[in-house]
Amino acid sequence: MAKKAPNPIDKHVGSRVRMRRMMLSMSQEKLGDALGLTFQQVQKYEKGTNRIGASRLQQISNILQVPVSFFFEGAPNMPGHVGTAGLNEAPSPAYVSDFLATSDGLSLTKSFMKIKSSKLRRKIVNLVEQIAGDE
């Protein structure tokens, strides 16, 4: 029997949990302890393999110090979702969320934002674009 693929929303919510946990430099074990779970269960939540129930998501949002809505920002297939301005907001591209959910992406973003000079940041972006072959 083939394994069922995780729901895209569950994967997105899990990746947002991972991203926020990593932003706080918190281990899976520490989050698991705070929730009364094993780090393996946290891994399954972060991969979207296991769904996060509503009350558990509320617990996670309290521990990670973000509103529950944080986990759904940029989620795929949210028809009819109305943003705070009252207009439908386009979700951020999935690759941005995926990148920020990695340790390299988070580290690069944190370090980049510490650079005070906007001119230097622009030069770094230009350099990376040249290396990547973007026009």
Write down the domain spans for the chain.
1-75+95-101, 103-135
- CA 8 – CA 98 distance, rounded (Å): 12
What pLDDT does residue 74 have? 81
The two tokens of residue 135 are 């026009």
Q: Say if residues 101 and 14 touch (Cβ distance below 8 Å).
A: no
The two tokens of residue 32 are 């698991």
The list of the chain residues with pLDDT below 70 reads 1-2, 77-95, 134-135
CB count, 10 Å around CB of 8? Answer: 13
Fold of 1-75+95-101: 434 Repressor (Amino-terminal Domain) (1.10.260)
Q: What is the DSSP letter of 49?
A: S
Q: What is the DSSP letter of 71?
A: G
